[in-house]
Amino acid sequence: MIKITLPDGSVREYESGTTPHQVALSISEGLARNVLAAEVNGTVVDSSTPIHSDANLKLLTWNDSNGKSTFWHSSAHLLAEALETLYPGTKFGIGPAIETGFYYDVDFGDREFSSDDFKKIEDKMLELARSKSEYIREGVSKADALKYFEAKGDEYKLDLIKDLEDGKITFYTQGSFTDLCRGPHIPNTGFIKAVKLMNVAGAYWRGDETRKQLTRIYGVTFPKQSELTEYLHLLEEAKKRDHRKLGKELELFTFSEKVGMGLPLWLPKGTALRERLVNFLQKAQQKAGYDQVITPHIGHKNLYVTSGHYDKYGADSFQPIKTPQEGEEFFLKPMNCPHHCEIYKSKPRSYKDLPVRLAEFGTVYRYEQSGELHGLTRVRGFTQDDAHLFCRPDQVKEEFKKVIDLVLYVFKALGFDSYIAQVSLRDPENKAKYIGTDENWDLAERAIIEAAAEKGLSTVVETGEAAFYGPKLDFMVKDALGRKWQLGTIQVDYNLPERFELEYTGSDNQKHRPVMIHRAPFGSLERFVAVLIEHCGGNFPLWLTPEQFIVLPISEKYEDYGKKVLESLNNSDIRGLIDFRDEKIGRKIRDAEVKKIPFMLIIGEKEMEDGTVSVRKHGEGDQGTMSIEAFRGHLQKEFLV
């Protein structure tokens, strides 16, 4: 008999060779019907895989990320089967699951292919799915694998097999289609009830521009048609909320090829919004005991050699800036932390001085491939709301908890109510990726886990996701459409203080190393603004929006009164403007709605005589007539943070 430990900690005994599916059946038939795959001791396997020794078991359904991934990988195989049925002679590259769905790289030969072909492929996939063909795993020798794909004439699979170790090669077959694959897969095709092919693109084989360009077909599948319908609705909503689209409509930012790809230009309204975010956090930081600093946009190469950034990222970064002095090289600043280490080191420190909290809205530069750039979410120059805390080891947990409080304060003020904290630890099987001693890593990881637990955070642990210099706590935020974004990060670092030989004099009058905490509640202002735009659809919180109201005179003769209204409100630190255009009032209202200005103040003969304004609210319509003083009070109540 073997002991199976389930996620709730319960232990059950089964005969050796029992499969995850059989374990599910022993719990309930309903559960068994929904099991897609399983995690055995952390490894995802087919639900039909025999278990021969004591193990931790997690049964994976559609509600688990690894369950979805398995479902979508199996769907890629179903797509390949449909393509081979419809277009004999098609050759196949790779077909992995991705974050939302899957793709398959295929070679159609001389055949023309476009999205016009999607419908018949989708129909064929559903037809094949209804056959409920099992995904059957088979181990094959390298010689037999080569022989099979040589006979099939598929040079892409042969290229993959060349790099595989004999004895570790497996095929999966469903219906009439056999593929080279490690797996795992769902039990059978019948789980796939809804199919949508999303896009077609080109992709060089193995990412090599000197090799043939294949056709990459993207798709998504679901176990219910209703879930596909909901997903497509969310995609339409996401298009409307795309920060690149709204950023242009709301005149927040732009890009210029002459300035350079991935280098955003903030327009006046976007700059005003960004500055309000900066001021908001600076006030909170000041209350929390941070000192503001400013560091240069460049640094000497030796600074980043000392920090370790040069060894890790130097080859893939913006290349050195050479000066007239022979051999002297500078780098565009990729990180603020080495500069802050030098500020800490600028004078002797005592244990009584700690913690030292240095904060900077520092712009950094990292070279991203042009194909990876995306609006404000992936850029080459961005400003981090960086802070670095230097503290004694006995202060680490308390300081970490205070930073958690600050991050949650930011989220609450900006309407991010749904989040999970991800604890990112190093990969114990690949310690060469990281710098620092085992002892320091153990201390840092324990401090993060305990602090998160004491603050009552909902957490997940991701092994292997730590920064190269230390573990971290990342906040994974859900936006209004249910999409997850990484916003806000806190990292414990015992390593940079070692590299920069940072010290403080302890109560024992001896020299000690401080511990460093890296912290950025926004992450980067660029990415944070992009996520905020999409989260609120451009309808920013009133305290943050660039223009809180617009005065709309019905005709030219009411403009002087409109100016008085504008001046009165602006004098109360309420931001607005007036529309002087010679347009009908209906057009002015429509344009103000498109610009998502929260309040429209319409003025005509009656309003001028009574000293009032007729108020419309964006998205809600008429709010009635108010005196200027009443409107001022109404607005001030709404935008209090």
Which residues are the active-site residues?
Answer: 337, 366, 384, 386, 388, 472, 518
Cβ burial, residue 346 (10 Å; 0-12/13-18/19+): exposed
Q: What is the largest CA-CA distance in the chain?
A: 93
CA trace torsion 39, 41, 43, 49 (10° rounding) = -60
Handedness of CA 557, 558, 559, 561 (dihedral sign): positive
Rounded to whole angstroms, the Cα distance separating 29 from 31 reads 5
Residue 564 is encoded by which pair of tokens?
Answer: 């008085």
Residue 211 is encoded by which pair of tokens?
Answer: 């090799």
CA distances from 295 to 269, 322, 333, 361, 572 (A): 26, 20, 10, 9, 35
Count Cα neighbours of 129 within 13 Å in the Cβ-side half-sphere: 24
Look up residue 334 and give its DSSP letter. Answer: S
**202 contacts 219 by C-beta, under 8 angstroms:** no
CA distances from 324 to 310, 328, 552 (A): 22, 8, 59
Residue 202 is encoded by which pair of tokens?
Answer: 């080109």
CA distances from 319 to 92, 323, 541 (A): 38, 13, 41
Rounded to whole angstroms, the Cα distance separating 68 from 74 reads 10
Residue type, 8: D
Rounded to whole angstroms, the Cα distance separating 444 from 601 reads 55
Handedness of CA 377, 381, 384, 390 (dihedral sign): positive
Rounded to whole angstroms, the Cα distance separating 11 from 19 reads 15
DSSP string, 388-423: EEEE-GGGHHHHHHHHHHHHHHHHHHTT--EEEEEE
Rounded to whole angstroms, the Cα distance separating 177 from 74 reads 12
